[in-house]
Amino acid sequence: MKVVKLLLATSNAKKVEEIRKILPSGFELLTLKDIGFSEVIPETTNTIVGNSSQKAWFVFNRTGLNCLSDDSGLEINALGGRPGVDSAHYAGMPPDNVKNIDLVLKEMGELQERGARFVTVMTLILDGNEHQFEGEISGAITRSPIGTNGFGYDPIFVPAGFETTFAHMEAVDKNMISHRAKALEKLNEFFASKA
């Protein structure tokens, strides 16, 4: 496969780092910082799918570069699917991971039902055409944060079949099973099928 150059439509440095670790060789990833792009990327739809698409098209239309965006959310059963599309700014603006986690744990209290899932939708704009790749992983919410790795809600999410949170795992282990890894695996398969 020839080297595919993609612009990542995110200013989240942790997300960029994670995607770089997961994608196999054959991809050259540019960041918004690399090209001096500093506009605020909108996320104004009411779905993860919609926000992912919106972000990708916004950056593509301004740069003309093939790009990849990611929108992810934590959907908790007992909270009716919240925080969902509002995951990044659940406790308000500006986004604050600690406040978001505190709010989720406060809302869940001592509820026994702690099932949840992480969902990611990757949108690829390639030569002016949109392609989307979804990934998800089920798990449960802890009663307090555990671990310091990762980002977002990783300290309170234990993936199904495991006994500790994403934030307590080594990055290499998380990156083999995560929602983002599953979406990127589909992206890689897409490019492999075109080779």
Active site residues: 71
Q: Which amino acid is at 24?
A: P
Give the span between the Cα atoms of 82 and 195, in whole angstroms. Answer: 40
Starting from the edge strand earliest in sequence, which strands make up the sheet with 27-30, in order? 27-30, 4-8, 67-76, 115-126, 129-141, 157-159
In order, the DSSP letters of 120-167 are EEEEEEETTEEEEEEEEEEEEE-SS---SSSSTTGGGEEETT-SS-GG
Question: Hey, what are 97's tokens?
Answer: 């991971």
> Which strand (E) or helix (H) includes residue 13?
helix 13-22
